[in-house]
Structure formats: C-alpha cells, structure tokens
Copies of this chain bind each other. A is one copy, B any other.
Amino acid sequence: MVDLGSEGYQAGISSLSEDTAMQIRTAAHATRFPTSPFASRPDKAEKAPAGIPMAFGPGEELFGEGDEADFFYQVASGAIRSYKLLSDGRRQIDAFHLPGDILGIEAGEEHRFSAEAIGNVTVVAYRRSRLGTLIQDDPAFRDRIMTATLRSLERAYDHMLLLGRKGAQEKMATFLLDMGQRLSKDDETLELPMTRADIADHLGLTIETVSRTLSHFARSGLIRLLPAGRSIGLCNKLALRKLDA
C-alpha cells in the first residue's frame, strides 16, 4: 500500500502495515487515535531505523515554522502540506508530501516551514537526535535521506520555474499532470486530497483563478470534473502536456 519509491524505505516502515497503521506512539502534539493492542508496547530498541508511528487528523499541525525540530517524518498514508506564511496571512504551499516522502529534516535547530495534515495522515517519525547516528551507521538509510533531500530540491527548482514564469493555464496543466503521476492508480483519474485554496496557494494563484481554469479545461474537453469537485479525469493528457510548455 505504501509506495516507498525506488529507493524505498523498507526496514523501518514495514511495521506500519494497513492493519497496524493505527498504532500510535503518543507524541506531544499527535492526535490520539483509538489505542491499538500495540500502542503501549515498550520501545524494544531494535537496532537501526526505529521509526515512531504517528497519526494526524484533518488540518492538524505536524510542526510549525520556528518549532524545535525534534522529529522528521516519512509519510505512510495520506497527504501533508508544508507552507510558509507572510505577516499578513498570505500563504505559499511549498510542497505536498505523499506516501513515501520524507519531510522536516533541518540544517538548524528549528523547522523552517509549517506542516499540516490534509485529511487523515499516518507517518513514521524519527528523532532528529538519531539522524547523525543513522547516517553514520546505516549506508542505506543515509542514501535514502540524501536522495529524498535532493529530490525535494529538484522539485523545488521545478516549482520555482512554474511560480516565476508560467501562466495560470500552464500552472494548472503542470499541476494536474504531476498529481496524476504521483497519486493516480489508473493513470486517468485522480482524487485530489486538497482543496482549491491549497492548490491556489501552491501555484501562486487565487481560488477563483484555479476554479475558472479548471472549468475552462473541462469545457475544452481536457479534463472531466467529477461531481464532488475533488475527483478529476484527465481526458486529454497530450493537450495538457502541450500547455505545460
């Protein structure tokens, strides 16, 4: 169920199967879900990556900008938005994190952006204090961290191109294709976990423009907007790719 990517992290996350996904190790700010049989099992110090399963409900904050960076996280299920705010409330969503993605590793002591669950989310958390050891002792883990960080950077650079130089239609086309790749099962339909406001704040647009552009795409037959508004069928990927520039 959890797609860990090609460099997929198996060892630490394997304990978090579909059935056990609800096990929660209580962390200060984590939502407490119904305790499972495993919930209070003492922390057997298994060697190597010992992740702490956690769960968060819709809108819940994993960490805020400026918070002490005690943990970093790998998404097990659900979607997370990481964002920054301007003093007057304008928001920029830097990234959406889907299963397999790693987030919250910092060079300094503090988190440099905020992260919230979109819908229900399960993650595996790792203590920052162990990062050094893990990187030192576990070459595979080190690779995963390095690769994940570099992939984040690649994504960020791609996204800067979008934010700085693409028009509304190009932004939406890029977004739809990217999401299609990242979270569609049949490669045709995608169930967006986020609201229009999230999309707008990710693409540097307004909700109105997002909505209008989607309607326009639908009228032009590029996509099919399914009733609920959150499901989208990509009818004409070729045309979308052409818009993508």
Contact = CB atoms under 8 A, between A and B. Distances in A.
A139 B107 CA distance: 15
A9 interface: no
A157 B112 contact: yes
Contacts of A204: 163-165
B153 A92 contact: no
A46 interface: no
A156 B82 CA distance: 13
Contact of A139 (B105, B113, B136, B164): B136
A47 interface: no
Interface in A63-122: 82, 84, 86-88, 90-92, 94, 105-107, 112-113
Interface stretch (A33-41, A144-152, A209-217): A144-152
B112 A161 contact: no
A158 B82 CA distance: 12
Judged by DSSP, the binding face of A is helix
A172 B113 CA distance: 22
Contacts of A135: 142, 146
B166 A163 contact: no
Contact of A113 (B87, B150, B157, B201): B157
A160 interface: yes
Contact of A107 (B92, B105, B154, B161): B154
B166 A86 contact: yes
B161 A92 contact: yes
The 3 closest A-B pairs by CB, nearest first: A164-B204, A156-B156, A163-B163
8 contacts: A84-B157, A86-B245, A92-B165, A136-B139, A156-B157, A160-B160, A163-B163, A165-B201
